[in-house]
Amino acid sequence: MKQYLDLSQRIIDEGVWIENTRTGKRCLTVVNADLVYDVKNNQFPIITTRKSFWKAAIAELLGYIRGYDSAADFRALGTKSWDANANENEAWLKNPARKGHDDMGRVYGVQGRHWKKPDGTEIDQLGKIVADLSKGIDDRGEILTFYNPGEFDLGCLRPCMHTHTFSLLGDTLYLTSYQRSCDVPLGLNFNQIQVFTLLALMAQITGKKPGCAYHKIVNAHLYEDQVELMRDVQLKREPYPSPKLEINPDIKSLKDLETWVTLDDFNVIGYQHHDAIKYPFSV
């Protein structure tokens, strides 16, 4: 939690105002942030200085793991977080590749599970990683990347957290996740949870011990209409200790994650938090 508050404070203190043409808003911006999560000791990096809707973050992650491309499927899992980008983003609404209401196109999990090869066949990046790690193999290329510039025009948004690299040292699994663009009040609140939970889940289904998760962010920003709430409300609050994430131990395979797992299989134990803050969202 301290590292989240330090990053937010750093943006307030040192951020540079940058015009963003996609949203038409200015963003107070810094470059380069390194966050580390202790998955081994289950220090769940949930925000405590406001109420975090952590289930929505895990629902998003499950949707990526399943390769979903429809905001309706994300809603069915328990998050509305893709509704605006699928249905209110001007550029995407005009794009002939959009297949209709709720379509997100070839984003995130679609690339992770169904990367298209020139010969028309597909690569299941996540399937390959799970198979390797389960056998104790780390070929130094256990990389899940959603970043496919050749298909940016076939999706509603370029992936923000775009690449996850898994590393096996003995029987301990590590994760390094890269993020190109980070909306600190809204996105990061979810992304911290997702990086932590991705490592915890991957360790569990491959029979490994989780180590640390390393989260590397390039452009970290506050939109102009978020600055006051962050500076004068959220940063004035004292954080609470980190709670623990409990994951149903019956989840044992990628198939389990793809089929029967729901948000009821996740629980946060001892989550103390301040009141909710409603930050503006920019499409």
| Chain contacts with ligand LAUPNLSC (rule: CB under 6 A) | 22, 157-158, 160-161, 181-183, 187-188, 191
Binders in 138-167 for ligand MHF, by CB under 6 A = 157
Say whether residue 247 binds ligand MHF (CB under 6 A).
no
Spatial CB neighbours of 221, under 8 Å, sequence gap ≥ 6: 11, 15, 18, 27, 28, 29, 30, 181, 182, 183, 184
Binders in 68-87 for ligand MHF, by CB under 6 A = 81, 85
Q: Which does 78 bind (CB under 5 to 8 A by kind): ligand MHF, ligand LAUPNLSC, none?
A: none
On the 0-12 / 13-18 / 19+ scale of CB atoms within 10 A, 267 is middle
Does 221 carry a binding-site annotation? yes
Residue type, 14: E
Report the alpha-carbon distance of residue 188 to residue 179 in Å, rounded: 10
Of 70, 189, 197, 226, which lies in the binding site for ligand MHF, with binding defined by CB under 6 A?
189
Report the alpha-carbon distance of residue 209 to residue 16 in Å, rounded: 40
Q: Give how far Cα 93 sits from Cα of 14, 103, 154, Å.
A: 36, 10, 12
Q: Using the minimum distance from each CB to ligand MHF, give the nearer residue, 60 or 142.
A: 60
Note if 160 is an active site residue. Answer: yes
| Contact by Cβ (8 Å): 160, 182 | yes
Residue type, 61: L
Q: Using the minimum distance from each CB to ligand LAUPNLSC, give the nearer residue, 187 or 211.
A: 187
Site stretch for ligand MHF (CB under 6 A), options 123-131, 170-178, 183-191, 204-212: 183-191
Q: How far is the CB of 67 from ligand MHF (least distance, A)?
A: 17
Closest by alpha carbon to 263, among 40, 49, 63, 85? 63
Closest by alpha carbon to 183, among 6, 2, 1, 11? 11
| Contact by Cβ (8 Å): 89, 122 | no
Closest by alpha carbon to 196, among 257, 250, 244? 244
Q: How far is the CB of 107 from ligand MHF (least distance, A)?
A: 9
Site stretch for ligand MHF (CB under 6 A), options 31-39, 98-106, 180-188, 243-251: 180-188
Q: How far is the CB of 69 from ligand MHF (least distance, A)?
A: 14
Q: Which does 105 bind (CB under 5 to 8 A by kind): ligand MHF, ligand LAUPNLSC, none?
A: none
Q: How far is the CB of 239 from ligand LAUPNLSC (least distance, A)?
A: 20
Q: How far is the CB of 114 from ligand LAUPNLSC (least distance, A)?
A: 20
147, 148, 152, 154 alpha-carbon torsion, rounded to 10°: -120
Q: Using the minimum distance from each CB to ligand MHF, give the nearer residue, 87 or 189.
A: 189
Residues that bind ligand MHF (CB under 6 A): 53, 56, 81, 85, 157, 183, 186-187, 189-190, 281-282
Active site residues: 160
